[in-house]
Amino acid sequence: METNILVADDSEYFREQIRADLEGNGYRVLLAEDGAQALSIYRSHDIHILITDLEMPVMTGLELCWHVRAEDDQHRTFTILMTGDTETARRIEAFDSGADEFLAKPIDLSMLRARVRAGERITRMHRAMVEMLHTDYLTGVLNRRYFMERLEQAYRAAKEKGTALAVAMFDLDHFKTINDTHGHSNGDLALKRFADHCAARVPDGGFLGRLGGEEFCLCLPAGDLETALAQVEAIRRSTAEIMVETGAGSSFSFTVSIGMCLIQDTDSINDLMTQADEALYFAKRSGRNRTVLRGAEGVTVKARFYVM
């Protein structure tokens, strides 16, 4: 994984000196001439290490550190603050603002590289821990807790901007029979195969999570409702083609039922999930292996497509 380093300093000489040294050691370096520009770059890139001067125009390094730490509650970015000020009180202020390391100017480049390597180790550990906290242990997709956090954020943003959003709940059909017939280990394998299959088909701007058991949920943009429906239907149809090979030399396939709901037809995140769940229940009750869309009157109903 390439390490992205953001260097913020109002001195072009120091920016270029640090950039040349770090790029010469294999790092990808982005530059900013003040704190405000650095914050904008930070928000649009995945920054592993931030190296910032203390005194800068528009926004100081202390203010920049405070903003980064406020937005980076998972500590994915390691922050190094540089200054010619050696007063202890100033250093304490820097650490209180969220800086992880403090280096005095003029910068010793060999020491800076050592601090960068230490920062890499720390951020790599934090990122691995965050990945574990956010990921379902069996399937590798988002776990229920983090999926719901992401969905809350997406829901609020869509409501504020007036953009279209949909959720689709997936439930593997006759999953108890799969476990009873082929064993729980092969049932787990079926879940993993479906998660991989579905994750490979998540559209841009969408995200997938496992809610629990054999139930998954996909959040996807629905600016073009017909396209969103077609994407979900493509997952349903192709799921029947998945073949799970068991350790005993046999194989089996399975189907999936889907309940879909649009954000425009709901008043809250709970309402959204309730309506999607109701559509899923209708899909299961009415024969399984079908997609049911809650609301959205006037949508063309296709094969195995139902509108409640």
State how far the Cα of 156 lies from the Cα of 79, in Å rounded to an integer. Answer: 30
User: What is the DSSP annotation of 75-136?
Assistant: --SEEEEEES---HHHHHHHHHTT-SEEEESSP-HHHHHHHHHHHHHHHHHHHHHHHHHHB-
Phi and psi for 34 in degrees, rounded to 5? Answer: -155, 170
Do the Cβ atoms of 238 and 270 come closer than 8 Å?
no
Which amino acid, residue 164?
A
Tokens of 272: 């959204």
Does residue 106 have a cis peptide bond before it, meaning omega lies within 30 degrees of 0? yes
Instruction: Estimate the share of the chain in helix, then strand, then coil, as percent rounded to the nearest 5.
Output: 45, 20, 30
Which amino acid, residue 262?
L
Q: In what order do the strands lie in the sheet with 4-8?
A: 28-32, 4-8, 49-53, 78-83, 101-104
State how far the Cα of 73 lies from the Cα of 84, in Å rounded to an integer. Answer: 28
Collapse the DSSP code of 155 into the 3-class scheme (helix H, G, I; strand E, B; otherwise coil) and give the result: helix
Q: Which of 33, 101, 214, 233 is catalytic?
A: 214
214 is catalytic: yes
- Which residues form the catalytic set? 214
